[in-house]
Amino acid sequence: MSIDTGGIGKGYAVDRIADLLKSHGITRALVNFGHSSIRAMGTPPHALAWRLLLQFPGDEPLGILEVKDQALSASSSLGKSFEIEGKTYGHLIDPKLGTAVSKKIQAVVLSQTASVAEALSKYVILRNPPEERDQDLWSPVKILRLSKDEKNRRSEGFPLLNLSRDKQN
């Protein structure tokens, strides 16, 4: 058994690159590490925000995210998966049960830093925090959580246009 800090490590690397760019006077950039760890600095020329297509591998596009001066982490419980005796297990371990998550849950977190977004996207998948936390403890973090087995969740103000799979309005 091993622990892979890849996702959170990617978020940390994205933040360090953004800091390096800022230290050299660069105020507009999109730092993208594999489509799941992104940090938007400023806006592109002649635009109000960076427009990103939100799509998990193997799924239909969910819509367009508009981000400015924010970091994004997109995670899936079955992003890295393995099969044992015909059952698929994901790479995230449920700390309460001590077993790998076996149902498909996807999360997108927007935060001020990629490190925080990466850590919280895993938490959102594993714990599905109560909605009241969105307003109190999570501000200014925005979340989107998608699951076939549970009600989908979308923070107020989550900047996604044309969300096709959202069960909430």
- Model-level pTM? 0.82
Would you state the pLDDT for residue 110?
A: 94
- Highest mean pLDDT: which range of 69-73, 89-93, 144-148: 69-73
Beta strands in the chain (DSSP E): 29-33, 37-41, 50-54, 63-67, 70-76, 81-84, 87-90, 93-94, 99-100, 105-111, 142-147, 153-154, 160-161
All structural domains of the chain, each given as residue ranges with its CATH number in brackets, are 6-161 (3.10.520.10)
Q: What is the pLDDT of residues 111-168, one digit of tens each?
A: 999 999 998 898 888 876 655 554 555 668 898 888 877 778 888 888 887 755 444 4
The 10s digit of each residue's pLDDT in 23-68 is 999 999 999 988 789 999 999 999 999 999 988 877 888 889 999 9
Which pLDDT belongs to residue 168?
43
Q: Which residues contact 51 (CB under 8 A, 6 or more apart)?
A: 64, 65, 66
Per-residue pLDDT, 2? 54
Q: Are 40 and 12 in contact (CB under 8 A)?
A: no
Residue 32: its pLDDT value, please? 93
Q: What is the pLDDT of residue 169?
A: 40
**pLDDT for the residue numbered 166:** 47
| Rounded Cα distance, 86 and 95, in Å | 23
d(CA 162, CA 157): 14
